[in-house]
Amino acid sequence: MSEGINDQSDLSEAAAQSRASVLRSRAESYIALSRHEAAIADLTESIALVPDNARSWRLRGESHRVIERYEAALEDFDESLRLEPDSAYALGSRGQAYAALGRLEEAMDDFDHALTLAPESLWILEAKADALVDLDRLDEALDEHAKIIALNEELAYSWVARGDLYQRMHLYTEAIDDYTRALRADPEHVRALSRRGEALRMIDRYQEALADLNRAVELDPDNDRAFGSRGAVLSEMGDNEAALRDLNRAVELDPDYIWAYRVRGEIFQEMERHEEAVSDFTLALRLEFGDD
């Protein structure tokens, strides 16, 4: 029950409908504020009052999904879709819950159904692309990203998302082109700067990489990935002391940053600081593989 309410069983049908509607509306504001437990409480009471409102089930499912209660989310989405079978939103959200549980084929079925109902829904296209990546169907994922970009070429995020996929595929020139398009749309997009810097590093364009990563760190002084990449660039440029300062900062910001420990270990090894190298490699193995 919501705050201060214990029993509403004596409400008339009209009053129950009215109260359920207000609870549902308040829950939507709670969701916008990321207060999902409060939203779930309101929606639970709303559902008890009016069990056949598909929106209430869908909204509660979405709150459960966001706070990673995926099985509860699936139950709510199932009920929402029983009441309203052609809700693209509920199908897309259920697909995201399936994907989070590793049930990728079921997720794909939901995304495909949702996209027959709402073929220009960017977030569902993005969720489908992510699932295709998890299925290692990378060329198909690229096709979905092309659809997303075609719908709105001004969204920096969409260019960055495809750039990340190109980078995963080791297509660094294509990735750089997409990050550059993102930065035309938003010159201060930190992820685009950081990721373009990393892609430039991978093709040995160190001065350009350093410029991007310097700007990323300037815009976001707590960006652990930018510090990690800049540390790797500085090492490639022969400045191991500066590289260590950046990598130290990277693991200070994210103590579970496996790649940074590996790079720092390699720098320690190059500097013949082998005890420190062993320590970093051991920590990387523990974090990635659970070694004792």
Per-residue pLDDT tens over the stretch 126-180: 999 999 999 999 999 999 999 999 999 999 999 999 999 999 999 999 999 999 9
Contact 249, 279 (CB under 8 A): no
Type of residue numbered 209: A
- Angle, in degrees to the nearest 10, between helices 54-66 and 36-49: 160
Residue 2 has pLDDT above 60, yes or no: no
Contact 221, 250 (CB under 8 A): no
Determine the pLDDT at residue 292: 80
Determine the pLDDT at residue 204: 98
Residue 6 has pLDDT above 70, yes or no: no
Contact 134, 99 (CB under 8 A): yes
Short-list 209, 174, 205, 177, CA closest to 193: 209
Over residues 210-269, the pLDDT tens digits come to 999 999 999 999 999 999 999 999 999 999 999 999 999 999 999 999 999 999 999 999
Task: Please tell me the distance from the alpha carbon of residue 25 to that of residue 139, in angstroms, as a whole number.
Answer: 41
Task: Please tell me the distance from the alpha carbon of residue 60 to that of residue 285, in angstroms, as a whole number.
Answer: 40
Query: Side-chain half-sphere of 233: how many Cα atoms within 13 Å?
Result: 28
- Using only C-alpha atoms, the chain has a radius of gyration, in whole angstroms, of 24
Level-2 CATH architecture, domain 13-85: Alpha Horseshoe (1.25)
Task: Please tell me the distance from the alpha carbon of residue 125 to that of residue 92, in angstroms, as a whole number.
Answer: 9
Q: Record the tokens describing residue 171, joined without a space.
A: 């297509």
Residue 233 DSSP SS3: helix
Contact 245, 227 (CB under 8 A): no
Task: Please tell me the distance from the alpha carbon of residue 292 to that of residue 283, in angstroms, as a whole number.
Answer: 9
Contact 140, 124 (CB under 8 A): no
Banded pLDDT at 10 (limits 50, 70, 90): confident
Over residues 69-91, the pLDDT tens digits come to 999 999 999 999 999 999 999 99
Determine the pLDDT at residue 142: 98
**Structural domain boundaries in the chain:** 13-85
CA dihedral over 115, 119, 123, 128, signed as positive or negative: positive
